[in-house]
Amino acid sequence: MTQSAPKNGTAPATAPRKTILRALAGETLAVPPVWMMRQAGRYLPEYRATRAQAGDFLALCYTPDLAAEVTLQPIRRYGFDAAILFADILLVPQALGLDLRFEAGEGPRLSTVTTPAELAALRPVGAIDDTLSPVYDTVRILARDLPRETTLIGFAGAPWTVATYMIAGRGTPDQGPAHRLKQTDRATFTGLIDRITEATIHYLSRQVEAGAEVVKLFDSWAGSLRGEDFRDFALDPARRIIAALKERHPGLPVIAFPREAGQGYVGFARATGADCVAIDNSVSAEWAAAHVQVDGCVQGNLDPRHMVTGGAALDAEVRRIRAAFAGRPHIFNLGHGITPDADPDNVARMIAVLREG
């Protein structure tokens, strides 16, 4: 095993024992730790059985025993180095007062926030625990039941990404409704970003209080922001959230994922205070190693399609990514979430290749 100097240039007296925490603290491990976005999901037969038991997706999210069960399933099957809380980024809008449902085959549907009156009607941040308390109960169960070597990751959606759903009432291919509101009613748009930012700080802090050891901020639609908008609505909210969390919970590691940020990945860790930047598969591992990993730990970035196709191409890509990031701290992961058509055997194959001598 080799060890790099942490960000302050001095070796720590003691390193955290769990591999994910060691990587986030700045250590370069001979074999990078691994987990997988959406690792608890529809590609697993045991997940589908538990979801059927719950009755629907939201019931699964809000039933702590079942949400903990699906979080634990990929840990039992594969031995990932981390478990990520099973929940959904749209629970926060629901807790703020929006109607939320999931349509089979079509995804989420929400009531919208597009006017000053609708913004004013949102619940105060202090009231969101009335809805979200079952999520904290799930975290407590996981903190108790996970293997001692497994890191527990909490998460939330980043304000821009959450806002795109709250404004459109659904997922959109280009986030057009949010961009239009940003241009036509800046005050309402920025007020919504601020409210989501405050709620996210509270929500993630409560997850940490319940037992999460790391938190991740998912900005799935960051790539549609350009120039000053990227700075104002992806970078700055992340900086505010991370600073507030670290003030409340000193030493808390935070992973940021500004998906498809491109050049925006460069310097993102420095600008926001993130301990790790997750990289999608639209950029190469070699580019990310040269331009992003120089600032600290990176996470990623295998194309999720390899979990469907498998074979020698999967093996080669795992080895290439591991080699590209080998010189500095790295957490192996996909460039985005695993898809429902993935073959569970390919996940086992990925881990075996990654951990080979």
DSSP string, 193-231: HHHHHHHHHHHHHHHHHHT-SEEEEEETTGGG--HHHHI
What is the percent of the chain where pLDDT is above 70? Answer: 95
The residue-averaged pLDDT of 21-27 equals: 98
Name the pLDDT band for 11 (thresholds 50, 70, 90).
very low
Q: What is the mean pLDDT of residues 113-124?
A: 98
pLDDT for the residue 106: 83
Place of tokens 């993630």: 204
pLDDT the model gives residue 45: 98
CA distances to 257, 281, 303 from 286, rounded to whole Å, are 18, 11, 14
Fold of 19-354: TIM Barrel (3.20.20)
pLDDT digits (tens, 9 = 90+) for 258-304: 999 999 999 999 999 999 999 999 999 999 999 999 999 999 999 99
Provide the token pair at 313. 């191409």
CA–CA gap between residue 173 and residue 94 (Å, rounded): 22
Listed by start position, the domains of the chain span: 19-354
The DSSP element (H or E) to which 332 belongs, if any, is strand 330-334
- 310 exposure class (CB count in 10 Å sphere: 0-12, 13-18, 19+): middle
Greater confidence, 9 or 336?
A: 336
pTM (two decimals): 0.94
Whether pLDDT at 87 is above 90: yes
Beta-strand relationship, 151-157 and 214-219: parallel
Over residues 114-142, mean pLDDT: 98
Amino acid at 100: L
Q: Which residues are catalytic?
A: 38, 42, 51, 88, 165
Cα 272-61-79 angle, rounded to 5 deg: 70
| Whether pLDDT at 162 is above 70 | yes
Query: Three-class SS of residue 281?
Result: coil
Q: Is residue 322's pLDDT more than 70? A: yes
